[in-house]
Structure 1
Amino acid sequence: MSRVDLQARRSIALAWGVVLTLCCGPAMAQADRPTDVAGRWQTDRDDGVVTIDRCGRELCGRVVGGGRLSANPDQRDTHNADPVLRERRVEGLVVLDHIRSERGVWRAGPVYDPLSGRSAPAATLTPRADGTLEVKACLAAILCTVQRWHRQR
């Protein structure tokens, strides 16, 4: 292979690298940014405010406020199926655990609803263009609940 051919191949490879970085790089970086789901979120039923933030190497969602918690700051997890956990405070309770991005899709699990005391093994978190966060928790593929959370400023 001549020196000219080698230089031409390197130039083409470099050009493709630049094109791929410019067109795909921002989209790939955007998909894995914790800021897509991180922040304070008002649940769609006004039952709580959840903060999604770092918990070690992953993200988690904790109850930090809401209408019921304002009325009773010492509210306990009374609906929990485990009698031992019924005395823990709702404020600070992790309701979305192990939040991570997998190929651009935000996943969490397990997830917990202190209002009903029910848990689901997994959920998907989808940031929407209107600034809301769709939280879809499923027990099985056909048994899902969806909430639309609103970012608090």
Structure 2
Amino acid sequence: MRRAAGVRRGGFSFRHIAAIVAMAAILLTTSLPGQAQTRGNPPAPEEGLWLAQDHDGVFLIGHCGDTLCGRLIGMQYDGPVPKDVWGRSQCGLVMLTDFRLISDENVWRGHILDPETGRTYDARIHAESPEVLKLRGFILGIPLFGKTQTWTRYRGKIGPECKLP
């Protein structure tokens, strides 16, 4: 009996395996911000909704296990929803990952994704006050080689497909 192209003796093709891996990755990334209370982690001052410095994006930051992560949930745009370098919608894209507490002053260190290039950068975040979050993105693991943005607490509305008013 002849097997279909790409099918191995066990019945799984490399395409099937790739699809299973992709689905697992999607399932893992959908269980992100908002799990702080269910996992018993105390809320960090950095958690919540934050408006980026240029007022063009809103991020939901929350616990992801023992780290903080952030998802883009609001954007300023005209036309179709912006896509990342891989062609995925930026709406709901996890851009802040693996932030771990590194000091007694609530400074968290992790990574930030540039969706237009696909590059990730080292980053630090800390709540300067309940209404102000400082984010510093940098290269080569050295904060001196970076740029700081000031984000503010967001309490506005977000429309369908992450559209900001």
Match of 1:90 in 2: 90
Structure 1: stretches of 5+ with no match in the other structure: 1-31, 79-85
Structure with greater proportional helix content = 1
SS of structure 1 residue aligned to 2:56 = coil
After TM superposition, the runs of 4+ consecutive aligned structure 1 residues lying more than 6 A away are none
Per-residue deviation, residues 121-148 of structure 1 (Å, max 9, x unmatched): x211121137210001110323101110
SS in 2 for 1:90: coil
1:75 aligns with 2:82: yes
Q: CA RMSD in A?
A: 2.2
C-alpha contact (below 8 Å) 2:111/2:120 kept by paired residues: yes
Instruction: Show structure 2 runs of 5+ residues with no match.
Output: 1-40, 156-165
Q: 1:77 is matched by which residue type in structure 2? A: D
Q: Which residue of 1 aligns with 2:161?
A: none
Instruction: Output the TM-score relative to the length of structure 2.
Output: 0.59
- 1:109-132 Cα deviation digits (max 9, x unpaired): 221122554321x21112113721
Superposition deviation, residue 35 in structure 1 = 3.0
Residues 72 and 100 of structure 1: CA distance in aligned 2, closer, same or farther (over 3 Å): farther
Q: Which amino acid aligns with 1:145?
A: K
User: For 2:81, what is the secondary structure of its paired residue?
Assistant: coil
Q: 1:42–1:34: structure 2 CA closer, same or farther, 3 Å change rule?
A: same
Normalised TM-score (structure 1): 0.63
1:38-117 aligned at under 5 Å gives the runs 38-68=47-77, 71-72=78-79, 74-78=81-85, 86-104=86-104, 105-115=106-116, 117=118
Distance 1:39 1:63 in 2: 12
Partner of 2:124: 124
User: How many pairs were matched up?
Assistant: 112
**Is the Cα contact below 8 Å between 2:45 and 2:130 reproduced in 1?**
no
Higher mean C-alpha displacement, 125-134 vs 56-65: 125-134
1:150 aligns with 2:159: no
Please tell me the residue identity of whatever aligns with 1:108.
R
What residue is the counterpart of 2:45 in the other structure? 36
Distance in 2 (CA, whole Å) between partners of 1:65 and 1:59 is 19
Identity in percent:
29
